[in-house]
Amino acid sequence: MSSSRPRVVITGAAGFIGSHLSETLLDRGYTVIGIDNLLTGDLANIAHLVNRDFLFIKHDVTNFIYIDGPVDYVLHWASPASPIDYLELPIQTLKVGALGTHNTLGLAKAKNAKFVIASTSEVYGDPLEHPQQETYWGNVNPVGPRGVYDEAKRFAEAMTMAYHRYHGVDTKIVRIFNTYGPRMRVRDGRAVPAFISQALANEDVTIFGSGHQTRSFCYISDLVDGIIRLMLSSENDPVNIGNPHEMTIEEMARTIIRMTGSSSRVVYRALPTDDPKVRQPDITRARHILGWEPRVQLEEGLTSTIAYFRKKLGV
């Protein structure tokens, strides 16, 4: 290491996952440099880190990134990540996947740092293989509305492996499955925050499609633990990090209504284009290579997430 306290650069540091990564790495003795252009991030997520060994830089990573001094790890987490965001910000999503990945890989190469990229289960598209293993190439519509996110991440993975093979950069690819927890945005279009905010307001809880489509929900602290284990490993091939416990969207909605004590009723709307019908990670590689599997049970994770939303919404 370059010093007694390894230095980590995290892009997207003011986002949901980026802020938890920053906090956990600080807790583990790292120095953290957080970069975010605040397009979808929120300074409130990192306000409690200001008096720690944490430096925030407001910057768009699609532009050249300059960091003074040594860097040991570069974690590229910048990207719109919810359907509402990437459908409203399609070009920014593509640019941060392409130019942002190029710039962060360039930083890692220049600093001889390890590189970790946040990829996604969306690289599998609407999968024809279930559960999804890392060897599955996916079923993605490149010209559909979701293609801007799916293909940005697939391109980012390809560029990451090119830097590994051609330049010898020590790279890691984490394929993140559905994650939830405190600091998610109230109305970011994803199931858990949408259901919680609607339930707390006693509004109709909106399910898109039949509600029989499945997802696998991982609590944020489990995800961050898996990411850091991968960061510290010698693995260079993609690794799924997510909870293999599969449930229907309707089950999640009804669980949240029950846990919030809400009088909401469930209503159904048309399923968006190319929305995946199933999503479940095969975490065999994470178990074997990283010794990782999720520990937080759904109701335990939802309890703290609901408490966060109650405070955020003032209810």
The two tokens of residue 154 are 């697939």
Which has the closest alpha carbon to 225: 298, 296, 305?
Answer: 296
DSSP string across 41-78: --GGGTGGGTTSSEEEEE--TTS-----S--SEEEE--
Contact 242, 283 (CB under 8 A): yes
Residue 296 CB partners (closer than 8 Å, separation 6+): 219, 221, 222
Question: Please, what's the largest Cα pairwise distance for the chain?
Answer: 58
> From residue 78, how far is each of 19, 38, 104, 166, 195 by CA, in Å?
11, 10, 10, 24, 25
Q: How far apart are the first and last CA of the chain?
A: 47
Q: Which of 30, 149, 163, 180 is catalytic?
A: 149
Contact 146, 88 (CB under 8 A): no
Cα 253 from Cα 151, distance rounded (Å): 29
Contact 76, 34 (CB under 8 A): no
Q: Is 204 exposed, middle or buried (0-12, 13-18, 19+ CB in 10 A)?
A: middle
Which has the closest alpha carbon to 259: 200, 185, 212?
Answer: 200
Q: Is the dihedral of CA 156, 143, 17, 36 positive or negative?
A: positive
Q: What is the dihedral of CA 263, 269, 275, 280, to 10 degrees?
A: 30
For Cα atoms 173, 46, 62, give the angle at the middle one, nearest 5 degrees. 50
Q: Examine the residue annotation and report whether 136 is marked as an active-site residue of this protein.
A: no
Known catalytic residues are 149
